[in-house]
A and B are shown apart, each in its own frame.
Chain A
Amino acid sequence: MPKGRLLTETSALLQRAGWGLTGYRERAHFYRIKSGGFPNLSAKVFHERDIPIQVAIGNYDLGICGSDWIEELLAKYPSSALLKVRNLGYGGNALYITASPFGGASTVEEVKAKPGIIRIASEYPNLAESFALNLRLRQFSVFPLWGAAEVYPPESADLALVSGTTEELLHYGLVPVSKVLDVSAFLIANRNSWESKDMGEVVASICDKVMAQEQHSSPDTATKPEIAGQYLCGEAAKDIVRFALPDGHQQLPTFRLLTKAGIHINDYPSAVGNRRPTTNLSGVTIKVIRPQDMPLQVANGNFDLAITGRDWLMEHLYQFPSSPVRELLDLKLGRVKIVAVVSKDLSAADVRSLRQLNAERAVPLRVASEYVNIADKYARDNHLGLYRVVPTWGASEAFLPEDADLLIENTQTGRTLARHNLRIIDTLFQSTACLIGNTNRVSTSIKQEGIKSIIEILRMAVEEI
């Protein structure tokens, strides 16, 4: 069952279906849910994006999620054991390839005619790649993102594949270039389970209650939106330092450090989701994006400086050793440990005993992590033998023990892990917030000076702590 966007309506549907669920609500601390109506059913709450993967690999028989994530999986893995059972009719939405009206290419024809590499930013990298291949774009780069794709065009990407309504696109200051997909909530099943297990009662309970809802398709009126600010592109932007600040829980400590350094950012953290706050630093533009996405963005020169975690920098460098991104300054904020974790029910006290345990098993060790490359390297370096890395998008502690055997996760105090009956068997490294930059030569000396001065201001603020 999904968290987030689809939770309220899914919960209402299952209530009508007589499931009698307790604890399936926003901000619930428990992921495992029992059904009063179906005592033999056990359910778990996941990030929507995890659900098609979990169902396809057979950890779950049934799932509910948006069709966008189903198609994202099938775009890359068409032979997945995934069955789309029923359109549930709610959660209506669409995926659009979008562009900024100021980017110089906001129709399919203009995009095709644009010289050079077309940069596409998206949380849906597989669908973005299919789009580019079907359009026969000659040279393109897809930047996979954890979020906030809407803020990338025009400076940080030429196109963004985003989900939303046309009204929302206008709000972001984007124009639709092409509609990729209509999205709604779907009931999905694992193909093998569907073929061999009797799930009739459960499926019927849902399908009987699905209202034959009218599909509201919003008209694709491509009216020019009103844009709050102006973007500097090309020649005009060559001296500007582009600085990425993190969204999420790192905002407050980052804000405090910047304030201490005398850097004022207006509307950060923003109550209204403003991702382009202004600053008193001259010659600097600020954009607020996911810390996970920063190393790749800095590597590609879309940003000059960024504040992210060392964990995400390592994740990036493990995947791409030749990347030009480096840590410039340890900001000594938000200290966490990256740890290897197993269920307390597993008789493994350290990685050596885990290796022995795995050598005796006939099935692959399932390693779950948000950090797929750190997890992969850890499993490789420790000779865990036959293993598979299962990518997760948050709340990874919920995966043990049913859906994974080993977890690579960050922890501050270890208390959350202990509460979920988990045991830390190894510490990989410590991670704090850090300032990252690109080792490639900067285009202009004015910009070079700008970057240097920000590093120095922050260095002094850090040393005062």
Chain B
Amino acid sequence: MRIQRCKGTRDLSPEEMAGFRLIEGAFRDCCLKWGYKEVRTPTLEYLHLFTSTGTLTPGMLGKVYSFLDWDGWSGERVVLRPDGTIPVARLYIDTMEKEELAKLFYVANVFIFEETGKKTRERWQCGAELIGAGAPLADVELVMLALEVLKRLRLEGIELRLSHAGVIRALLAKLELTPEEQTRTFDLILDGDVEALAKVKLERPELGRTLPPLLDLKGKSSGFLKNLKALFAQDLPELEPSLDDFINIAELLEAVGCDYQIDIASGRGFEYYTGVIFQLFKDEEKIGGGGRYDALIPLIGGKDISASGFALYLDRLMNLVKPKALAKPPSQRILIRAEPEAVKEGFSTADYLREAGYMAEFYLGAQQQADFEWTLDIQSKAPRFILTDQVDQRRFEAQTTNEILALLSR
């Protein structure tokens, strides 16, 4: 019987791993240069880390991999990490809370049950979290960092969409919904139901006068937000602080020459967002997103500290990035064939060549010579080394490893 791969999982082939590492490498390199430090959290967490209001939406909670482990007699469920941000917030509280500013990044897998099993249930994310900075500049830094990574990967035509959780919440509060209904509607919006706000509107016709323009908000400049602020100053003064924050961020983005689109109702993401929510699209496919989550750390037991972050979706980037165009020229490959008496010599020569920057492989019986730039035969008697250039089949003899190096670099 054929052993099958677990439903909803994927293998990464050598070619795919090359792309994976390339993206991961570009992301790590950018983050390190911006002063972020890498962390790694466990794959298993307790379920209750994710259950309170303000963490994951019920739609996402219904899709986590939770179970009782060998220690589960108390009913304490564990979960395969369904999100990257919340564990990093927990790590910050756990071991780094004395630091007033923590700039952290991670590359991690998250697990979300996808019912059909046709899409992968284990997804990889490159995420960065900026804890301890509340100014609009911090949000803009994260947007710019995310865009730099994508630029490094030579992805063009990236679309940045902005929304604001504070604006959505103020709007919901104005609709005189019960707290449960507010949370539910907010969750619907975050779970991707773009109609959610419109549905509420229909049930409350007296608000129809002010809401339609807001629901259809699509703008391309901070001026657009300022117009809205003027429009709603009378009817919805509660919107002002959030709109001001939003305007500041938009103005900063303009100042650094970054294009964006404002789309309030598309605030898809996570319940923990409190401020700006940004999403990155390439050809209508979402490849990443993030936002401000000032309430999360106090909510899960930490001090009152502001934070924001983003994640790029590695699996989707892998379909878009062309590794060949980006990868450094590969090292020259040398196939080493040693006589049985010269095996020791063979290993030490291979070591020497690798130190010098070449890829040196032992002949194991199945390699094709055509896949190598060079072959090197090692013999116990003179000439000890026979080097053959596989491109033009020229043959060289050498007595020392130094001579080989000289021949290789001719």
Contact = CB atoms under 8 A, between A and B. Distances in A.
A132 B58 CA distance: 11
Contact of A133 (B51, B68, B75): B51
B115 A79 contact: yes
A133 B62 contact: yes
Contacts of A268: none
B9 interface: no
A6 interface: no
Contacts, number: 55
Given A79-B115, A362-B1, A386-B1, A136 B73 contact: no
Contacts of B115: 78-79
B75 A141 contact: yes
Given A79-B115, A137-B51, A142 B75 contact: yes
A390 interface: no
Contacts of A138: 48, 51-52
B58 A300 contact: no
A157 to B, nearest CB: 10
Interface in A315-360: 316, 319-325
A300 B73 contact: yes
B324 to A, nearest CB: 39
Contacts of A324: 73
A367 B61 CA distance: 31
Nearest to B75: A141
Nearest to A386: B1
Interface in A289-336: 296, 299-300, 316, 319-325
Contacts of B58: 133-134, 136
A141 B70 contact: no
A300 B72 CA distance: 11
A133 B61 contact: yes
Contacts of B73: 296, 299-300, 316, 319-320, 322-325
A119 interface: yes
Interface string A117-145: 00100000000001011101111111100
A78 B116 CA distance: 11
B51 A300 contact: no
B71 interface: yes
B395 to A, nearest CB: 55
B70 A136 contact: no
Contacts of B1: 362, 386
A306 to B, nearest CB: 14
Main secondary structure on B side of the interface with A: loop
Contacts of A320: 68, 70-73
B76 interface: yes
Nearest to B52: A138
A300 B51 CA distance: 22
A324 B73 CA distance: 9
Contacts of A136: 51-53, 58, 183
B74 interface: yes
Nearest to B55: A136
A320 B73 CA distance: 6
A119 B75 contact: yes
A321 B115 CA distance: 32
B16 to A, nearest CB: 28
A207 B53 CA distance: 44
Interface in B257-309: none
A321 B70 contact: yes
Nearest to B64: A133
Find the residue from B1, B71, B73 having the highest chain A CB count within 10 A: B73
Interface in A15-64: none
A386 B2 CA distance: 11
A322 B70 contact: yes
A322 B71 contact: yes
Contact of B74 (A78, A299, A316): A299
Nearest to B62: A133
Contacts of B53: 136
14 contacts: A79-B116, A130-B62, A133-B51, A136-B52, A136-B183, A137-B51, A138-B48, A138-B51, A139-B48, A139-B51, A140-B48, A140-B51, A322-B70, A322-B71
Interface of A: 78-79, 119, 130, 132-134, 136-143, 296, 299-300, 316, 319-325, 362, 386
